[in-house]
Amino acid sequence: MMLRYSKRLSIRPLIGLSATVVQSTNPSLNRLTGHIIDETHGTLTLFDGLHHRQIPKATSTFKLFLPNGETAQLDGNSLLGHPAERLRRVKKLRW
């Protein structure tokens, strides 16, 4: 089941979730799957059991697997920034 409220997901911390790179401008990153072990302002680090791969957020689209069994597909541009920065940005847009 695809999650309908992906904007809410973009403001939560992503570390610990499983993810797949659905699309990237770098073809060698397409279809990489792993657990998100680190998040910086502009990258996600995936660990696939053997390698740590840094994926740029701005040029990629991710499919995230949530603990409750749902999935969400997010554009990396909506993930730019640290989780706290993304939350502040959403609060400013509301007010």
- Domain ranges, ordered by start, for the chain: 6-94
**How confident is the model at residue 88, as a pLDDT?**
73
**How confident is the model at residue 90, as a pLDDT?**
63
Examine the pLDDT at 48 and tell me if it is beyond 90.
Answer: yes
Give the CATH architecture of domain 6-94: Roll (2.30)
Average pLDDT estimate for 38-64: 94
pLDDT tens digit string along 21-30? Answer: 999 999 999 9
In percent, how much of the chain has pLDDT > 90?
A: 52
Give 3's pLDDT tier (boundaries 50, 70, 90): very low
User: Three-state secondary structure along the chain?
Assistant: CECCCHHHHCCCCCCCCEEEEEEECCHHHCCCEEEEEEECCCEEEEECCCCEEEEECCCEEEEEECCCCCEEEEEHHHHCCCHHHHHHHHHHHHC
- Decide which of 62 and 78 is more confident: 62
**How confident is the model at residue 64, as a pLDDT?**
92
Kindly report whether the global pTM for this prediction surpasses the value 0.75. Answer: yes
